[in-house]
Amino acid sequence: MNDKPVSKVLVLDESPEHLRSIKKFCDENDLVALKVRRGSVMSVLRTNIDLGAILLSEVYGGSPEEAARIAAEIHETRPELPVIMRRESSANLEGLAEPVRRAVCAAYMANDMAALRNVIGERIFCLMYPNALLRGIAEITESVLTSQFPGVRVSMETPYIVHDRIIFGELFSLMELESSWCRGYMMLQTEEDPLLVLAGHPPRTAFRTVNDLLGEVTNLIWGAFKNRYLGDPAAMSGSQVPLLVNHKHKYISFGTSNPQLCFRFTLADATGTRTATLYARFVFNLSWSPQDFKEIPQAFAGLVESGELQLF
């Protein structure tokens, strides 16, 4: 696992020369560049693909007018996604029509990739995540999933940053996180039937079975996270923001523009033919002070390693 999280960006640019430079830029700046056919842009964005931003050429689609139309449609469909425009003659938004200015958050020019690097830092990697936290979340979640799904292989992608607020699958759980260095939520998202099958239950089993299963997984991960990182939270009866869930559009908002830290886990049986996907997302929407982060010494770590203590 890479300690540093990455972020997926959708590249809407038809310049062969710039596509080479943007690929090099992404490789050097913890970005995963994705391309899509011109006619499929909106259909892709209407799925639950996780993205950190969109890089859009000012002349994508053959003209500034077509690029402006696409930018406005992107903003209407996924307003939470930062759209960064590569312009031909200026690295700002001056001269753009008002609908485009509303849709685009920043601009850059091909001859000044340093400006793009600054925008990426401000818009995507605006929160620092300690390496110990990233490794710990991965270890905790893999351990819990392995204990709850005997005989199942658990694999994980590199942690990544998303601005999307799309819900994956039919089932998600929330647990509040609160300490002197953070306040926010842990959220697990998954599909119902694949998880049931891997747990040894037939599809269309009573939905409460999978509710109980995900609830137990959530509680175990949260408990280990709390013991390892949160301890006894200080009395922090600060302000709250409303959480908004729109089930029709599979959308959830935590009342902040902060990105989410996402871990994608794949569970597979011994043959690899039956799989399930589980997303663990962490959003620190109320407080985030990574400079105050510290890992709590675990007195029981040696007991677990020796086998004297086990999860059950």
Decide: 253 and 183 in contact? Cβ < 8 Å.
no
Does residue 258 surpass a pLDDT of 90?
Answer: no
Does residue 308 surpass a pLDDT of 50?
Answer: no
Does residue 311 surpass a pLDDT of 50?
Answer: no
| Chain position carrying tokens 């697990």 | 188
Does residue 209 surpass a pLDDT of 90?
Answer: no
Looking at the domain that runs over 7-123, which CATH code has it been given? 3.40.50.2300
**What is the pLDDT, as a whole number, of residue 28?**
94
Please give the CATH architecture assigned to the domain spanning 131-306.
Answer: 3-Layer(aba) Sandwich (3.40)
pTM to 2 decimal places: 0.78
Measured in degrees and rounded to the nearest 5, phi and psi for residue 65 equal: -65, -45
Q: How far is Cα 294 from Cα 100, in angstroms, rounded to an integer?
A: 43
Q: How far is Cα 311 from Cα 254, in angstroms, rounded to an integer?
A: 32
- pLDDT tens readout for residues 132-189: 999 999 999 999 999 999 999 999 988 999 888 888 888 899 999 998 899 999 999 9
**Average pLDDT over every residue of 19-45:** 90
